[in-house]
Structure 1
Amino acid sequence: MTTSIDAVATSDSIKATYRRYLSSLLAVRDPKIDAALRHAIDNTDMLDKGPYLEATPPYAPGKSLQDLIAEGVVAQGFADLAGKALPLDRPLYVHQEQSIRKVAAGRNVVVATGTGSGKTESFLIPILDSLVREREQGALDPGVRALLLYPMNALANDQMKRLRSLLANYPDITFGRYTGETETDPRKAREAFAELNIDEPMLPNEILSRQEMRGRPRRTCC
C-alpha cells in the first residue's frame, strides 16, 4: 500500500498550530495589546522556515481501545469517553497497548520512546480506566487519585488542553492544574481562566484555584 503526504499543506498546518500555541502561551489582559500580539504572531516570517522533510519508520500498530474493552482489559464504561480526542477504533501503538495491559495487570511501567510516540496515552488511559471502574463500582468518592508531574508549565498547559477535550462530557472525573501560575482565590482563578483562554468554555469539572484543590479535592488532580 502506497501513501502520500502533501508537504506544503502539512507544513502550513504545523506552522498554524505553532502560532496558536504561542498565542495561548503569550495571551495578555489588555485587548488591544493582545490583538496586536496575535497579529504579529500570525504575520511574522521569523518563526519558521522550510518545510524540511525527514522519513522515519512508523511505530508498530497494535489493538484498538475498542478491542481492549471487548477483552475486558479496559472497563466497558470507558466507551463513554469516546470522541474526537479519543477514538476507540483507532489502533494503538504496540507500546501503548503493552503499557495499558501491564498496568491493568497490576504492574509498574516505564515508557521510553521517541517524540510523538504517544507516551501520554500510555499512562493517561490506565488512569482514566481506573477512575471509570471506580465510578462503575460506586466508589468514586472525593479525593486525589493521580498526579501528573511536568518539568515546565508549557507542558502542563498542553496537558490541560488534552484533559479538557477528553473530559468535557464526563463531569464525574475532575481535574486541575497546580503550578506557580495557579491562583489561590476562586474568583481570581476564574477571571484568569477567562483572560487566558479566550472563547474556551469553563468546564464544571475543572478545578481552577488552589483554595478549592486544598479545601475539597475531588476525584483527580493533575
Structure 2
Amino acid sequence: MPIHPLNTTNHIRSTYLRYLRTIKPFQDEWYRQAFADAVDESDLLVKGPILEVALPYEKGQSIKDLVEEGVLSNKFANLQSPDLPYTRPMYVHQVRAIRKAVSGRNLVVATGTGSGKTETFLVPILNYLFREQENGTLSQPGVRAMLLYPMNALANDQMKRLRRLLENCKDITFGRYIGETDRSNDRDEAIRNFQKVYPKEKILDNELFSRKEIQTNPPHILLTNYAMLEYLLLRPNDSTLFDGTTGQHWHFIVMDEVHVYDGANATEMAMLLRRLEDRIVGDRLGRLQAIATSATLGKGKQDYPTVIDFANNLFNLPFIWEENKPEYQDIVEAERVPVEKISAKLWGKGTPEFYHELALLLDHRPSEISTQIPYLSSFDKVIQKYAFPISYQEARLEATKNPETAIQRYLY
C-alpha cells in the first residue's frame, strides 16, 4: 500500500517523542512536564516534512530503435524480459549513456535515484556479450564484466534482476562471489543451500552458485564487493579469474554508488583497482572500460571537472569533460521534461478547494474493508460538487467489485 508522507512523518515524530519522554523518568511532575514541553517544541528534533517535486525524466528511444539503428545487437529481441522491455522508450540520459558506453568510452552516470542507472551499464554489457556470441567467442569461460558493490544487499538485489533478465539467455553466465557464497564442491548441494536462504528465487542453469563453480568456469558477469576482491587477488584458488586462458577476457569494471568511496577509503579502492589492472591488462592498454554510477556525486556542472578528476584517480583510466563538445563528455546527467511541457492534464485540473476536501476524506479513511464501499460515496459527492468529468467511473466500478485490491487505485 502507498505510504502517506504526512501521516508517516507524524507517526515517526510522535513515536520518537514518546520514546524520549520515557527514557527520562523524572519523579517531579513539574520537571517531567517541562521536559515533555521541551522535546515537543516545534522543529527542535524534526524538520519538515520537506516534499520535493521533481519533474519527470525526458523520454527517448527504445531498445528496439537502437537495434534497428545498428547501435545494439538484434539479440536483445530474444530477452523477452519485462525488466528490459524491447519497445518501451528509455530516458534520454539512458540512451546517451548506452551510446557512449557502446562506443567504448569510460563513463560516470550521475543521475538521480530512480533514473534507471542500472540500464546504463547492463545494456552495454549485454550488448558486448551478444557481439561475442555472434563472433563465436562467448563459449569461452572468463569474466567479461565485474560489478562492484559497496554492500552485499545491493549485490543481492542486482542478482535478482539478473535472474529475471537472463532467464532466456542461457549462454550468458553470472555469479556472485561474496563471503556467503557456497563453499561446497557439488552444484546440487550448493543449490539446496541457496534455496534454504532464498526459497522464492528461481534456479537458472546459467547462474553459478558455488565458489568451486566460479573458480572452475568463471562467469561472464561477476558480482562482488571490494573486500572480497582483495581476497580474490591474493588466493591461489581464485587465480583462474585473472590468469591464464580464463583471465584474458576482462573488459568492464562497473562501480555502483561510487560516491561512498571517499578519503582513505577511496585511496584504498584506487590502489586495489590498480592491482587488478596490473594483473589483467598487462601490456594490452585500452582493454578495460569503466562505468561508475551515483545519484549524489557532485552538485551540478560546476563540479564536473572535480568529478572527472575523481574518476581518473579512482580508476586510473581516461575520463574527459569538455563543456562545449558533447562527444568529449564522459559524465552523463539527467535530462528532465521542461516545466512548460507539463500539461494541466498530467497534474490534474482540480481547484485547491477540491483537493482540500479530498485530503480531508483521505485523512479519515476507514481501516475495515467492509466500510469502504459506503466511504466511496463520499468521494462521489465531492466529485459531483465540483462538476468533474465522469471518467473515473471505470475505476469506481472496479473498486466496488474488488475493494481489497482496487480501492487504492480508485483513490489515486
The TM-score normalised by the length of structure 2 is 0.41
Mark the runs of 5 or more structure 1 residues left unpaired by the alignment: 1-8, 13-51
Q: Distance in 2 between matches of 1:175 and 1:219?
A: 6
Q: Which amino acid aligns with 1:178?
A: Y
Q: Which amino acid aligns with 2:115?
A: S
Q: Would you say 1:104 and 2:105 are equivalent positions?
A: no
Q: Is the 8 Å Cα contact of residues 184 and 190 (structure 2) preserved in structure 1?
A: yes
Cα deviation code 1:74-133 (max 9, x no counterpart): 111121113211101111111110111011212111101111111111011100010011
Q: Would you say 1:162 and 2:161 are equivalent positions?
A: yes
Name whichever structure is richer in strand by fraction: 2
Q: Which amino acid aligns with 2:94?
A: Q
Shift of the alpha carbon at 1:62? 1.4
**Mapping 1:1-222, distance limit 5 Å:** 9-11=1-3, 54-140=52-138, 141-187=140-186, 188-222=189-223
Q: Is the 8 Å Cα contact of residues 113 and 119 (structure 1) preserved in structure 2?
A: yes
Q: Is the 8 Å Cα contact of residues 63 and 92 (structure 1) preserved in structure 2?
A: yes
Q: Distance in 2 between matches of 1:11 and 1:199?
A: 26
Assess, with a 3 A threshold, how the Cα gap between structure 1 residues 215 and 120 changes in structure 2: closer, same or farther.
same
Runs (4+) of structure 1 exceeding 4 A deviation are: none
Q: Is the 8 Å Cα contact of residues 160 and 201 (structure 2) preserved in structure 1?
A: no
Assess, with a 3 A threshold, how the Cα gap between structure 1 residues 175 and 88 changes in structure 2: closer, same or farther.
same
Shift of the alpha carbon at 1:144? 0.9
Larger Rg: 2
Shift of the alpha carbon at 1:53? 6.5
Instruction: Name the SS for the 1:154 alignment partner.
Output: helix
Shift of the alpha carbon at 1:54? 4.5
Cα deviation code 1:181-222 (max 9, x no counterpart): 111214453222111121332110000111111122143322
Shift of the alpha carbon at 1:61? 1.1
Q: Is the 8 Å Cα contact of residues 143 and 217 (structure 1) preserved in structure 2?
A: yes
Residue in 1 that maps onto 2:41: none
Instruction: Select between 180-189 and 122-131 the one with higher mean Cα deviation.
Output: 180-189
Instruction: Name the SS for the 2:90 alignment partner.
Output: strand
Q: Is the 8 Å Cα contact of residues 77 and 136 (structure 1) preserved in structure 2?
A: no
Q: Distance in 2 between matches of 1:186 and 1:56?
A: 50
Q: Which amino acid aligns with 2:215?
A: R
Q: Is the 8 Å Cα contact of residues 146 and 221 (structure 1) preserved in structure 2?
A: yes
Q: Is the 8 Å Cα contact of residues 186 and 208 (structure 1) preserved in structure 2?
A: no
Q: Distance in 2 between matches of 1:172 and 1:119?
A: 25
Q: Percent identity?
A: 55
Q: Is the 8 Å Cα contact of residues 147 and 221 (structure 1) preserved in structure 2?
A: yes
Question: Aligned-pair RMSD on alpha carbons?
Answer: 1.9
The TM-score normalised by the length of structure 1 is 0.74
Name whichever structure is richer in helix by fraction: 2
Q: Is the 8 Å Cα contact of residues 80 and 168 (structure 2) preserved in structure 1?
A: no
Instruction: Name the SS for the 2:111 alignment partner.
Output: coil
Shift of the alpha carbon at 1:162? 0.3
Q: Distance in 2 between matches of 1:109 and 1:103?
A: 7
Instruction: Name the SS for the 1:193 alignment partner.
Output: helix
Q: Distance in 2 between matches of 1:169 and 1:186?
A: 27
Q: Distance in 1 between matches of 2:62 and 2:181?
A: 36
Aligned residues: 176
Shift of the alpha carbon at 1:10? 3.6
Mark the runs of 5 or more structure 2 residues left unpaired by the alignment: 5-49, 224-412
Q: Distance in 2 between matches of 1:179 and 1:203?
A: 19
